[in-house]
Amino acid sequence: DGDGGNQTGLLTRTLPKTARPSLYRVLLLNDDYTPMEFVVHILERFFHKNLEEATQIMLHVHQKGVGVCGIFTYEVAETKVTQVVDFARRHQHPLQCTMEKE
Ligand code: TYC
């Protein structure tokens, strides 16, 4: 593996190269009904933010309409979106969470 002949007759070694996975932003969207404390709880529970970080992100979303909760590989991002939306629906809140390629 890695040793190759070429037209020069020299033996060269090919370095193993690992491709980086594509990354995805997980986004929270603002709405008029989901309580602020519930959004803070989501950010603590699913995105491992402390109270200060979670409050900053929640207020950013409240003021600007959208904000980034975290950046993950595809399957992790997809799982976060599902967990957040399921948790919000179980508590009867309309909170929307989505993902986009970085
Ligand atoms: N706008 C909501 C309120 O005033 C709070 C909120 C913040 C809702 C962020 C969703 O992603 C959200 N209660």
How does pLDDT run across 36-65, given as a tens digit for each residue?
Answer: 999 999 999 999 999 999 999 999 999 999
Q: Report CA(78)–ligand 1 centroid distance (Å).
A: 22
Residue 60 burial class via C-beta count within 10 angstroms: exposed 0-12, middle 13-18, buried 19 and up:
middle
Least confident of 2-6, 19-23, 69-73: 2-6
- Check pocket membership of 95 for ligand 1, CB cut-off 6 A: yes
Determine if ligand 1 sits within 6 Å of the CB of residue 35: yes
Residue 101 Cα to ligand 1 middle (Å): 24
Does this model's pTM top 0.80? My answer is yes
**Does this complex have an ipTM over 0.95?**
yes
